[in-house]
Amino acid sequence: MKRLKWTQWIALFIFVSMGISFFYTLFEVFTAPVKQPATGPSVTLRSDYLFLLLEIILGMAILALPSILARRFKFEIPGLVYILFVIFLYGAIYLGTIQQFYSIVPHWDKILHIFSGAMLGAIGFSFISILNANGRVVKEMKPGFLAVFAFCFAVTLGAFWEVYEYTFDGLLGLNMQRYDTSGGTPLVGRAVLQDTMGDIIVDILGALAIAIIGYLALKKGKPWMKQFEFHRKDWKKK
C-alpha cells in the first residue's frame, strides 16, 4: 500500500471536514425555515443553507481539481504550492464560511486576500514554464519579466474573483461585496466600494511583495525558489 505524503494527509483532513459539514448542512436545508419569524431574533434560512451547501460542494471540487489537472496534463505540483492552496481553501470555505470566521474574526477576508495574492504570485513564477512546455524557459528569462508576469497573474485572478462575487450577488441576492450593512441597510457613495477596493488593494500588496521577493531571489540565484517550480513528467525523460 502506497504511503500518503504529509501534504495528502492535510488535504484528506480538509476534505473530511468539508464532507462532515456537507451532511450537516444538507440536514439543515430540509429543517431550516423558509421565512424569518414575525417576532424574535432573525434565524438562518433555508436559502442560506442552500448557498452554504453550494460553496461546500464547490470547495470539495476545487480541492480535487489540482490532482485532476496534474494527471490530465502530466505535471507535478510542488508540495509547498499545494499545501498553500489547501490552507487557503480551508481558511476561505471551511473556516470563513462554514465556521463564520468572516463574521467573528476581524479582517479575516483581507487576511485571506493578501495570502492569496502572495500565493498566486508565487505560482505565477513557475507557471510560465508549464505554459511554454519547457523546463528551461524560467532560467532563460530575465528575473524582471518573471516578476512582472507573476504580479499580473496574481492580480488578474484576484480581479476574476471580484467578478464572481459581483455576479452571484446579483443572481442570488447575496452580500459578498458588502454593499449592505449587516442589518440590511444599503450603503451609499464610497462606502459601497470599500470592501471591493480593499480586496483588490490587499491582493495587489500580496502579489507585489512576492514579486519583489521572487525577483531578488532569482537575481541572486537563491535555491528556495525551486520549491515553487512546476515540472512536466515528460521533462525527466529528456
Q: Determine the longest span between alpha carbons in the chain, in angstroms.
A: 72
Q: pLDDT, tens digit, for every residue of 117-129?
A: 988 988 888 777 6
Separation CA 166–CA 149 (nearest Å): 26
Q: pLDDT, tens digit, for every residue of 132-187?
A: 666 566 667 788 998 999 999 999 999 998 998 888 888 877 778 888 877 778 88
Place of cell 442570488: 172
The yes-or-no verdict on residue 225 having pLDDT over 70 is: no
The yes-or-no verdict on residue 66 having pLDDT over 60 is: yes
In this prediction, residue 222 carries a pLDDT of 66
pTM to 2 decimals?
A: 0.79
Could you say which DSSP state residue 193 is in?
Answer: T
Least trusted range by pLDDT, from 59-63, 72-76, 157-161: 72-76
What 3-state class would DSSP assign to 235?
Answer: helix
In this prediction, residue 238 carries a pLDDT of 47
Separation CA 191–CA 181 (nearest Å): 10
Q: pLDDT, tens digit, for every residue of 101-111?
A: 988 898 899 99
